[in-house]
Structure 1
Amino acid sequence: MSPEAPTPPSTPVPASAGAGARVRVRPAWSPWRTVFAFGLVSLAADMVYEGMRAMAGPFLGSLGASALTVGIVTGAGEAVALVLRLATGPWADRSRRHWRLTVVGYAMTAVCVPLLAVTPFLGSAGLAVAATLIVLERTGKAVRSPAKSALLAGMATSTGRGKGFAVHKALDQIGAFSGPLLLAGIAALTGLLWPGFAVLAIPGALAMLLLAQLRRRAPIATLAGTDESEDEPGGRPPRSAWAEVRTAAVGADLPRAFHLFSLAAALTTAGLMTFGVMSYRFVEAGLVAAAAVPLVYALAMAVGAVAALATGGLFDRWGGRVLLVVPVLVAVVPLCVFTDRLGLVLAGVVVWGAGAGVQDSAVKAYVADLVPVGRRATAYGVFAAVQGIGALAGGVLAGALVDGHVTLLAVVIGALQLAAAVLLWRSCNYLSLPVPDP
């Protein structure tokens, strides 16, 4: 019997295969093809969960939920999606099961959202089941996000991390606005909300098929430090239980520059507010009809996709300093969107979309530059939690001041952005300092 041909080093081989087992060799994809495929996974998955988020309020209301119940369910879902990452990030780094967590998280979204279509037929139990499915879907987001970002950071090393994350974010944004528009179209045609959730089973299944193919064909070389078969040289020194909890909760062993940047991102996120607050204001002012709000949101998402692509190459050239434009954009938003002129309002929405696109595409690339490879998932979990606190604070601030105190709101947001710019500049300076020899 002729000896087995050697397996190319870039081709994944199952760890369970025995020494004499024949392994079917699949050629690994190039780094760019891998990044693009991961972007397509996010595009399909975003159609599913952004479609659900766009219709969650009206759908729960159709099942008999009060406004308070809708607020509790959706608020609890978003809290779970952010705060739970404090646990799932360190879990991914310690277990080295980044792919498994990514697959499980996407599967929860692909299953839970289409199942919402059956809840109107469950009688009095329909509301409770729907609420549970929504929270479970958001839990899936928390399970996969830190591990997925760590995998993508490894994949994008050869492409230029800024460009890689930018392309991924642009594809992600396409799903973010096409999913809600798909559900709105189905609701307009049928007069019902539940058929749209059933249709979302198609992009959900497509996301899982793409992810399975990506897992088989992703080159190991692009995933150094995250692949499940790779052991960290030397391992980590044992730590006490309290040290593990403290590290998982706040990322205590992560670099100072990372924490400065996290705080800066929280301040810019607070200033960006939420689209819900802005749309509430211009609908109340009679500037935009409620039925046209999804179109305005789609405009912002399209601008965000273009801004993300434009930012990628600049990030690879200038690093985190490219993010200094975000506080400037954020400070402009309230000066436009809270006026009584439609042209200025739409301009403000465009600026808001650009700021969100630049921030969302570059922050993950910058986090990957700031922290060690083996701590990326932990860092993404901590970062998301800090950013979530900023989003919550910004929503409360805007909600309290948008009626009758717009000038004060603009001043406060401007002050927050000045502080964000200072913190961001300091984090860039820390990163540029030479590392002393041990």
Structure 2
Amino acid sequence: MVTGTAGAGRAAWRVVLGLGVVSLAADMVYEGARSVTGPLLALLGVPMLLAGLVTGAGEAAALVLRLPFGARADRAGRYWPTTLTGYALTAVGVPLLALTPLLGAAGAGVACALLLLERVGKAVRSPSKSVLLARAAEQVGLGRGFGVHKAMDQVGAFVGPLLVAGVLALTGSLVPALAVLAVPGTIAMVLLVAVRRLAPDDVPPDPATPPGPTSTSATRRSWLGPARELPRPFWLFAAAAAAVGAGLTTFAVISYHLVDQGLLHATLVPVVYAGAMLAAAIGALVVGVVHDRVGPRAVLVVPALVATVPPLAFAPTLPAVLVGVAAWGLAGGLLDSTVKARVAELVPPGRRATAYGWFAAVQGLAAVAGGGLAGALATDAPQALTATVALLQVIASILMVAAATSARARP
């Protein structure tokens, strides 16, 4: 339900839209770079195995490290410092990749370090940014607020790779193609400082939150302890999201299929990726509005959509694969918007950053399993992959219904 006065609603929309523009600019930076990460590492002489390990470790860090950073932000009750720090790591680190081809033998090591640093920045900021967004979105509808934000975020993910591709086509060099990303990075930081002035001040920790630990060993464990205090409906919903994530095949596997089967030239794969990001933007916006009208039932569309991806994305014809890629992008957008709105509904405000950290970690582990599942079955046993993913989505739907029922039963 949308609450607050009309004036509060307008102020909240300014924060939601401001954070949305920040995410748009930041996504131009790191999604633009991700579209050419493979060619960059190849240019620098990084072996394919090492490139896979570095990028895989980066994705794991971006998800699992949200646990300590989310819990720490909740304990302090201050979310802006980590939000600013995380975005700064991306805005500064990614454009520096442009220098790596000029560093000779040292370029490969520096590039790997910068790629990992960018993913750590994602982990640092994400739980706190989600809390700030949820705080504002409560005034205008959580589904609508998260949906609008995700749509703007995905516009950046669509434009960034196209910007890099355009500069690369004009210059024939990755150096200016990566260096140009300093422009949206600077815009993101300037806008973030401006939004900080519009957003509510950081609030003190939840009075129900126990005092922070004092011993060194307790401090090391403090980011694990609050997990026991997260409500049962949250864990049911996190398990549902894990089942969804395990069934959502990675784009790397889909694009491998496209090129390996001769359905699309490799140079056009970034354009297909950009199209998937556009589908995610549109879907997040539409379903976010639906969420606020029909409630938790809206999230049930996510597992239904994920189940359609394997039979389409690994089809033998290009049109079917493109439809599958659109479904993949749409499902990913909803998983990162409507589903996050649902987490905010299930968890008390003083525990949201902790919850988002755990939620991301669960999703990350499931995504690793899902990537292995798709890689093992997509080529040799696509029908088995389709059946397995469908079963996972049935389980996800059951868990989502159980989470909603458990939440209604809470006093």
Which band: TM-score by shorter chain?
Answer: over 0.9
Residue 245 of structure 1 and its aligned partner are, at CA, apart by 2.1
Partners of 1:382 and 1:249 in 2: CA distance: 12
Question: Aligned residue for 2:358?
Answer: 382
In structure 1, stretches of 5+ residues that fail to align are 1-26, 221-226
In structure 2, stretches of 5+ residues that fail to align are 1-7
Summarize the Cα distance change of 1:366–1:281 in structure 2 as closer, same or farther, 3 Å threshold.
same
Partners of 1:86 and 1:34 in 2: CA distance: 25
Question: Aligned residue for 1:98?
Answer: 79
Residue 431 of structure 1 and its aligned partner are, at CA, apart by 1.2
Q: Are residues 1:274 and 2:250 paired?
A: yes
Aligned match for 2:44, one of 63, 81, 99: 63
Aligned match for 1:218, one of 155, 180, 199: 199
Question: Aligned residue for 1:12?
Answer: none
TM-score (norm 1): 0.88
Question: Aligned residue for 2:302?
Answer: 326
More helix by share: 2
Summarize the Cα distance change of 1:249–1:434 in structure 2 as closer, same or farther, 3 Å threshold.
closer
Summarize the Cα distance change of 1:191–1:78 in structure 2 as closer, same or farther, 3 Å threshold.
same
**Within 5 Å, which residues of 2 pair with 1:224-243?**
227-228=202-203, 230=204, 232-233=206-207, 236-237=210-211
- In our comparison, the structure showing a higher alpha carbon Rg is 1
CA RMSD in angstroms, aligned pairs only: 2.0
Would you say the 8 A contact 2:288–2:338 is kept in 1?
yes
Aligned match for 2:183, one of 190, 202, 216: 202
Q: Could you tell me the percent identity over the aligned residues?
A: 53
Partners of 1:84 and 1:176 in 2: CA distance: 22
- Give the partner amino acid of 2:131: A
Partners of 1:375 and 1:48 in 2: CA distance: 30
Would you say the 8 A contact 1:86–1:249 is kept in 2?
no
Aligned match for 1:47, one of 28, 44, 56: 28
CA offsets 1:319-363 (integer angstroms, 9 cap, x no match): 222111111111111111111122221221222222222222111
Question: Aligned residue for 1:264?
Answer: 240
Would you say the 8 A contact 2:99–2:175 is kept in 1?
yes
- Give the partner amino acid of 1:396: G
Residue 434 of structure 1 and its aligned partner are, at CA, apart by 4.1
**Within 5 Å, which residues of 2 pair with 1:263-412?**
263-412=239-388
Q: Are residues 1:72 and 2:53 paired?
A: yes
Q: Are residues 1:89 and 2:63 paired?
A: no
TM-score (norm 2): 0.94
Partners of 1:243 and 1:132 in 2: CA distance: 28
Residue 318 of structure 1 and its aligned partner are, at CA, apart by 2.4
Question: Aligned residue for 1:18?
Answer: none
Residue 219 of structure 1 and its aligned partner are, at CA, apart by 3.7
Question: Aligned residue for 2:3?
Answer: none
Query: After the TM superposition, which segments of 4 or more aligned residues of structure 1 sit over 6 Å from their partners?
Result: none
Which 10-residue stretch deviates more, 295-304 or 164-173? 295-304
Partners of 1:173 and 1:291 in 2: CA distance: 21
Summarize the Cα distance change of 1:92–1:271 in structure 2 as closer, same or farther, 3 Å threshold.
same
CA offsets 1:17-36 (integer angstroms, 9 cap, x no match): xxxxxxxxxx9971111100
Would you say the 8 A contact 1:29–1:218 is kept in 2?
no
Partners of 1:434 and 1:348 in 2: CA distance: 39
Summarize the Cα distance change of 1:243–1:124 in structure 2 as closer, same or farther, 3 Å threshold.
closer
Which 10-residue stretch deviates more, 236-245 or 365-374? 236-245
